[in-house]
Amino acid sequence: MAIYAMGDLHFSGEPPTKPMEVFGAQWLGHRKKVITYWKETVKDGDTVLLVGDTSWSMDLEDAVAKDLGPLAALPGDLVILKGNHDYWWNSLKKLQAALPPKVHFLHNTFYQTGDVALCGTRGWNLPSMPGFGEHDQLVYDRECQRLERSLAGAREAGAKH
């Protein structure tokens, strides 16, 4: 069993409706590169953690059709965290219903593989950052609470790591 993590895929269908190569040549064909490397590396029984900004889609149905569905068809279990550009993110119940059981969402929850629990939350600005404001504090506090709930659930379930 292996655990892999990556983020900021910013997929937008194939061909992409929002090509990322505007941010540099290293983004040219990035979807194909990610999928090719995934197929060469990840095996059934492995876990892939996507740490946010997975799809540019604006709604769940579009994200599933263009990006999340194809990712779910790849080897391994898939665990997804919400990023600040994941506008398609919906209620946990709707997310789970839209994809096969091998896809898991970390949202006030944890994912356990063996004796390892994966916990996480959406990253946000820190209070020590310049320009940190009232809205930032609200989001930061909420995400800290979500992480605490996830960690508590993992401990209650007996996760050792």
**Rounded to two decimals, what is the model's pTM?**
0.91
Contacts of 77 (CB under 8 A, 6+ apart): 46, 47, 48, 102, 103, 104, 111, 113
pLDDT in tens, 7-40: 999 999 999 999 999 999 999 999 999 999 999 9
| DSSP assigned state of 133 | -
Domain 3-156 CATH (choose: 2.30.30, 3.60.21, 2.60.40, 1.10.3470): 3.60.21
Domain boundaries, the chain: 3-156
